Amino acid sequence: MLLLSIESSCDDSSLALTEIESRKLILHKKISQEAQHARYGGVVPELASRLHAVDLPRLLESAQPHFDEISAVAVTNEPGLAVTLNEGVMMAKAFAAFQGVPLIPVHHLKGHIYSLFIEKPTRLPMLVVLISGGHTMVLRVQGLEDMEILATSMDDSVGESYDKVAKMMGLGYPGGPIVEALAREGDPTGFKLPVPLRNSPLIAFSLSGLKNAVRLTIEKLGGPEAMSEEDRRDLAAAFQRTTIDHLKQKIRKILAREPIPDVALVGGASANLAIRSAFEALCADYGKRLHTAPLEFCADNAAMIGRYGIDALEAGLSCDPQEIRVSANRKLQAGMKL
Ligand code: KG4
Ligand code: ZN
């Protein structure tokens, strides 16, 4: 039997079919809206929702040969953009009600954590560093419903700050891969940027000050058009180096005190190879093992939603299709459970 999963929390329409018993991925499709949002320099919620309304039914059609084998549906219902979450939830709800199968609401961030277990057995507990476009946090994950936030960003997330830096330099969207590619060619010592919260005992993240420092540097250089290729590369490299130093400085304190030996890096920005290799070294310092998801499952996708959905189904966490609610954003803070 198969589980159908649907993801539409932001600008990716995605659908997957996973074999429940073996956790094998049977079908995985994703239509990214990046190109449509690129000219606005970021995601436009109403446009995203209209595109989901067209793309999700197309994706569902591709699963039609398997409809009879589907015995459960999982869908992202929080957090994200309310108007886009609604598109996926409406389709999942209609399908589950019509087929008479259980519906499983999935927290998007729990989905990112379960990207680690796609086509694999679940392996917990883990200390998880989640870096995406919407969130930056460290969690102690001990079970499906036992995920405690240990530290979080006070302002921008890692992915968001890459996107903003790319925008300020007049580059495209999403900024993560663009800034990473530029940084690879640059000299991180070319510009001096302040490491956020360096002298603070707080175990938290803050990236808006760093973003402002990048903005001031660009202004001093005469604006994005006046910057040379070398300036761009060096500034991207300095920004990336400073971001990594900040993450490492704070996460070090958590690794030193938490006995769990397995550490994971997940979320869209975990596709960044410089961040990955910095974390490999950091974990090695503390005798911990680093786990990451395959690159194709770092960014938003329905496979991770399905993988969480299967464990949730087996734990009896489904709901009445009429009862499912969309919850766009609630403030997530250290000490809270996901
Ligand atoms: O997890 P995700 O697909 O969506 C959210 O749940 O937010 O993450 C998207 C974010 C974007 O901000 C994107 O710029 C960032 O992940 N990202 C990266 C890289 N690839 C994607 N950030 C840094 N380096 C990358 N290579
Ligand atoms: Zn995401």
Q: 95 CB less than 6 Å from ligand 1?
A: no
Angstrom CA distances, 267 to 57, 125, 134, 264, stand at 26, 18, 9, 10
Domains of the chain listed by start with CATH number:
2-118+300-323 (3.30.420.40), 126-292 (3.30.420.40)
Give the model's pLDDT for residue 40: 87
| 4-24 per-position pLDDT tens digit | 999 999 999 999 999 999 999
In this structure, the number of other CB atoms found within 10 A of the CB of residue 121 comes to 6
Give the model's pLDDT for residue 41: 81
How far is residue 243's CA from residue 161's CA, in Å, rounded to a whole number? 9
Q: Which atom of ligand 1 is nearest to the CA of 174?
A: 14
Q: How far is the CA of 132 from the centre of ligand 1 (A)?
A: 5
Give the model's pLDDT for residue 110: 98
Q: Which atom of ligand 1 is nearest to the CA of 273?
A: 26
Distance of CA 68 to the CA centre of its chain: 32
| 87-99 per-position pLDDT tens digit | 999 999 999 999 9
Report the predicted TM-score, pTM, of the whole model to 2 decimal places: 0.96
How far is residue 198's CA from residue 252's CA, in Å, rounded to a whole number? 13
Ligand having the closest approach to the CA of 34: 1
Look-up: residue for tokens 């993560």?
176
3-class state of residue 71 by DSSP: strand
Ligand having the closest approach to the CA of 160: 1
Question: Are the C-beta atoms of residues 204 and 149 closer than 8 Å to each other?
Answer: no
Q: 134 CB less than 6 Å from ligand 1?
A: yes
Spell out the residues 6+ positions from residue 290 whose beta carbon is closer than 8 angstroms to its own: 263, 264, 265, 276, 279, 280, 283
Q: 271 CB less than 6 Å from ligand 1?
A: yes
Q: Which atom of ligand 1 is nearest to the CA of 157?
A: 12
Q: How far is the CA of 133 from the centre of ligand 2 (A)?
A: 7
Report the residue among 129, 132, 279, 292 best suited for mutation to probe ligand 1: largest number of ligand atoms under 8 A from its CB: 132
Give the model's pLDDT for residue 74: 98
Give the model's pLDDT for residue 42: 85
How far is residue 154's CA from residue 333's CA, in Å, rounded to a whole number? 9
Q: Which atom of ligand 1 is nearest to the CA of 166?
A: 14
In this structure, the number of other CB atoms found within 10 A of the CB of residue 277 comes to 12
Q: How far is the CA of 186 from the centre of ligand 2 (A)?
A: 28
Q: Whose CA is nearest to atom 8 of ligand 1?
A: 268
Among 151, 150, 122, 173, residue whose Cα is nearest residue 307:
122
Q: Which atom of ligand 1 is nearest to the CA of 173?
A: 14
Q: 41 CB less than 6 Å from ligand 1?
A: no
Q: 175 CB less than 6 Å from ligand 1?
A: yes
In DSSP terms, 2 is beta-bridged to 19, 70
In this structure, the number of other CB atoms found within 10 A of the CB of residue 25 comes to 18
In this structure, the number of other CB atoms found within 10 A of the CB of residue 262 comes to 17
Torsional sign, CA 311, 315, 316, 317: negative
Q: 268 CB less than 6 Å from ligand 1?
A: yes
| pLDDT < 70 positions in the chain | none
Spell out the residues 6+ positions from residue 257 whose beta carbon is closer than 8 angstroms to its own: none
